[in-house]
Chains A and B, each alone.
Chain A
Amino acid sequence: MAPSLDPEQLDRYSRQIVLESVGPDGQDRLLDSAVLVVGVGGLGSPVIQYLAAAGIGRLGLVDGDVVERSNLQRQIIHGIDDVGRPKVDSGAEFVADLNPNVTVETDETALSAENATELIEGYDVVVDATDNFPARFLVNDACTLTGTPFVHGAVYRFEGQVTTFDGTGPCYRCLFPSAPPEDAIPDCATAGVLGVVPGTIGTIQATETIKHLLEIGESLNGRVLHYDAKTMDVESVPLKARPECPICGDQPAVDSIQAITYEGDCAIPE
């Protein structure tokens, strides 16, 4: 099919259309793509910013929180006038201002076992930009069971981790079968995070998403990238699937997220 880009789109996306591995066909593909971003905070902000700028045709935003003043140090798509507003509304407005080619769908809700599969359905890629274990396990389990690729990111103080789980390698539960006890792992509110760290990790998540949609380069599937802002060291840690993984292993223990309780250790029932 001939690319259907209009003159304005050819101009807007010219710097990536000129790339041999993108071209007008690749841009067409991005405009035909749909990406769900779960979490419109520190990671979600740069993810949404770059995916919208790149011309992803349909962006889904899921978050049940409202913008707080303490978010603004890192959640760069929200402004002072957005404090108190739903993050998904502020995010949708940001995208509308940046790129009218992008259709935004918002769900002002927390991901749950009741809504996760339905929310993920119809998207080509999901971005895990969440900040808590129940949501991370929900994204993993719902995406893995529905065969939806997802890009995981997480940040802590000066460090971040990022990887892609595309269904052909390990999943998040291969690495961490269950959540640690509550409060064993501090969140950004207690441990702190340098504002630019989610910027770096979220930008890599957006990069992985675009690469996956365009089928270019080598993804992080099968390795976890660890980034240390203090030393500027980046390490690629190999990660293989666990054959006994209850979600993606040889004999999965469940075929539906309804069988799992997403609280406490989020473990899969035996």
Chain B
Amino acid sequence: MHVMVEVVGEDTRELDVESGATYADLLAACDVSPHEASVLVDGQPVPEDGEVSAERVEVLRVVKGG
């Protein structure tokens, strides 16, 4: 499956993932820890252990500072 992964504020990567791959696998392919970011599909946050079903996702990193 071909998936476009946009890491917000960084770049968009095109990944080919195998059937059964999870959103955590997408994050790993982008060198992003699941602890550090949330995956959004059409604006909907999805669980990292969910199976990838979307062709485009956005990854929003968590930011702490103030």
Interface residues of A (CB under 8 A from B): 39, 41-44, 128-133, 136, 153-156, 159-161, 170, 174-176, 180-181, 184-188, 191, 193, 198, 222-224, 226, 228, 233, 235, 237-240, 242
Q: Do the beta carbons of B64 and A156 come within 8 Å of each other?
A: yes
Contact of A240 among B9, B44, B60, B64 (CB under 8 A): B44
Residues of chain A with a CB closer than 8 A to B43's CB: 222-223, 237-240
Known: A174-B45, A184-B35, A242-B44. A228 touches B9 (CB 8 A): yes
Residues of chain A with a CB closer than 8 A to B58's CB: 237
Task: Report how far A198 CA is from B62 CA in the complex, Å.
Answer: 16
Task: Report how far A224 CA is from B40 CA in the complex, Å.
Answer: 12
Residues of chain B with a CB closer than 8 A to A224's CB: 60
Contact of A175 among B9, B60, B66 (CB under 8 A): B60
Residue of B nearest to A41 (CB): B66
**Interface centre among B9, B36, B38, by most A CB within 10 Å?**
B9
1/0 per position for B19-52, CB-CB distance to A under 8 A?
A: 0000000000000010110101011110000000
Task: Report how far A133 CA is from B65 CA in the complex, Å.
Answer: 9
Task: Report how far A224 CA is from B32 CA in the complex, Å.
Answer: 19
Task: Report how far A187 CA is from B63 CA in the complex, Å.
Answer: 9
